[in-house]
Amino acid sequence: MARIVLLPGMDGTDAFFRPFVAQRPPTVDVQTVEYEHLDAPSYEALCEHVAAALPDDDLFLLGWSFSGPLALKLAARGLKRLRGVILVTSFVWRPVRYLPPWCKVFARPSLFTLYPMASMGQALLHGYSTPELRALQSEAFSKTTPTSLAARVRMLLGVDARQELRSCPVPILYLRAQQDRVIHRRHGQMIVAEAPRATLVDVPGPHLCLATHPADAWMAIEPFLTGQPNLRSA
């Protein structure tokens, strides 16, 4: 049985993974490492928290959005039991290129008090909001804090995991959401260009594609778990 360790996005909770986990194949086991209340100052510090929670069995790491660099930094530690890395709507270098790294000093908690409302508003505006998704958003944002969100934004504004990407010792699967309005499609292109063992697969849905289109995500991931070629590769 394949085991996937799920690393969440900015919220740090398992909430948005629920629809994805509910549709997992019977041959796949999953575990989510949460960090909603952890105010880690860097990806390296967050690595320590996640590494301590990893199982002793063979595993795949799945990093969603914010956690993509985290998955690659963990892979760079040479985990002998790691079989592959899955990056979902993620990045390895500053996701907002027009903002220089020094802008992270302005990422303060007060700026993120309205983040939950903005996220839910985006879902409504772009037509993928549902009662189920709104319930997951409410749960996720009730568990995290503006302080934690600000800390994670400072981390991603200064991140550069390109070296970890190039030296990743295991195969990489990148899932790019076709209607993603958060992470530009060029990030997926850069990842497959920089990593010789990376494959890119487009899946339908927005940035929260694992919550809105879980079946399509599994169709892309299952071949990767078994080492089969993916006919949907971009």
Query: Which CATH number fits the domain that encloses residue 192?
Result: 3.40.50.1820
Instruction: Please choose, from the candidates 31, 109, 106, 40, the residue with its C-alpha nearest in 3D space to the C-alpha of residue 73.
Output: 40
| Residue 187 resides in a domain | yes
What is the side-by-side order of every strand in the sheet holding 59-64?
28-32, 2-7, 59-64, 82-88, 172-177, 198-203
| Residue 66 resides in a domain | yes
Tell me which residue range forms the domain holding 177: 2-96+159-225
| Residue 210 resides in a domain | yes
| Residue 101 resides in a domain | no
| Residue 182 resides in a domain | yes
| Residue 21 resides in a domain | yes
Residue-wise pLDDT tens for the chain (234 aa)? 899 999 999 999 999 999 999 999 999 999 999 998 888 889 999 999 999 999 999 999 999 999 999 999 999 998 889 999 999 999 999 887 655 665 655 556 656 676 667 777 788 777 888 999 999 999 998 998 888 888 888 888 889 999 999 999 999 999 999 999 999 999 999 999 999 899 999 999 999 999 999 999 999 999 999 987 665 666
Number of domains in the chain: 1
| Residue 139 resides in a domain | no
| Residue 212 resides in a domain | yes
